[in-house]
Structure 1
Amino acid sequence: MVDISKVRAIDFHTHAEESCGCHADDGYDELQSTMAKYFGAPWQHPPTIPETAAHYRKQNIAAVIFPVDAERETGYRRYSNDEVIELVKQNDDVLIPFASIDPWKGKMAVREARRLIEEHGIKGFKFHPTMQGFYPNDRMAYPFYEVLAEHGCIALFHTGQTGVGSGMPGGNGMRLKYSNPMYMDDVAVDFPDMKIILAHPSFPWQEEALSVAQHKPNVYIDLSGWSPKYFPPILVRYCNSILKKKVLFGSDWPMISPERWLNAFEQIDIKDELREDIIKNNGARLLGLM
Structure 2
Amino acid sequence: MNVDDLVAIDVHTHAEVSKDGHGSLSPELFDASAKYFKAHPRPTIPEMAAYYRERRIAAVVFTVDAEHATGHPPIANEEVAESCAEHADVLIPFASIDPWRGRAGAREARRLVERYGVRGFKFHPSVQRFAPDDHMAYPLYEAIEELGVPALFHTGQTGIGAGVPGGGGIRLKYSNPMLLDDVAVDFPELRIVLAHPSFPWQDEALAVATHKPYVYIDLSGWSPKYFPPQLVRYANSLLKDKVLFGSDYPVITPDRWLADFDKLDIKPEVRPGILKDNAARLLGLRG
5+ residue gaps, structure 1, are none
Please tell me the residue identity of whatever aligns with 1:168.
Answer: V
**The one of 30, 36, 45 aligned to 1:32:** 30
Please tell me the residue identity of whatever aligns with 2:192.
Answer: I
1:49 aligned partner: 45
Query: What displacement does 1:21 show?
Result: 8.3
**The one of 164, 170, 185 aligned to 2:181:** 185
Closer/same/farther in 2, CA of residues 20 and 83 from structure 1, 3 Å limit: closer
Task: Using structure 1 for the length normalisation, give the TM-score.
Answer: 0.95
Please tell me the residue identity of whatever aligns with 1:13.
Answer: H
5+ residue gaps, structure 2, are none
Q: Secondary structure at the match of 2:9?
A: strand
In 2, distance between residues paired with 1:70 and 1:143? 17
Query: What displacement does 1:151 show?
Result: 1.3
In 2, distance between residues paired with 1:139 and 1:191? 12
Query: What displacement does 1:27 show?
Result: 7.2
In 2, distance between residues paired with 1:77 and 1:42? 22
Please tell me the residue identity of whatever aligns with 2:136.
Answer: M
In 1, distance between residues paired with 2:59 and 2:284? 14
Confirm whether residue 256 of structure 1 aligns to residue 252 of structure 2: yes
Query: What displacement does 1:20 show?
Result: 9.7
1:229 aligned partner: 225
1:173 aligned partner: 169
Query: What displacement does 1:282 show?
Result: 0.6
The aligned length equals 286
Query: What displacement does 1:271 show?
Result: 1.0
Please tell me the residue identity of whatever aligns with 2:82.
Answer: E
Please tell me the residue identity of whatever aligns with 2:149.
Answer: C
In 1, distance between residues paired with 2:31 and 2:165? 15
Q: Secondary structure at the match of 1:140?
A: helix
In 2, distance between residues paired with 1:171 and 1:35? 11
- Runs (4 or more) in structure 1 with deviation over 3 Å come to 19-24
In 2, distance between residues paired with 1:167 and 1:119? 40
In 2, distance between residues paired with 1:225 and 1:108? 31
Please tell me the residue identity of whatever aligns with 1:114.
Answer: R
Confirm whether residue 85 of structure 1 aligns to residue 84 of structure 2: no
Please tell me the residue identity of whatever aligns with 2:122.
Answer: K
Please tell me whether the aligned partners of residues 10 and 283 of structure 1 are also in contact (alpha carbons under 8 angstroms).
yes
1:145 aligned partner: 141
Closer/same/farther in 2, CA of residues 86 and 21 from structure 1, 3 Å limit: closer
In 1, distance between residues paired with 2:238 and 2:201? 18
Task: Using structure 2 for the length normalisation, give the TM-score.
Answer: 0.96
2:15 aligned partner: 16
Please tell me the residue identity of whatever aligns with 2:219.
Answer: L
Q: Secondary structure at the match of 1:214?
A: helix
2:128 aligned partner: 132
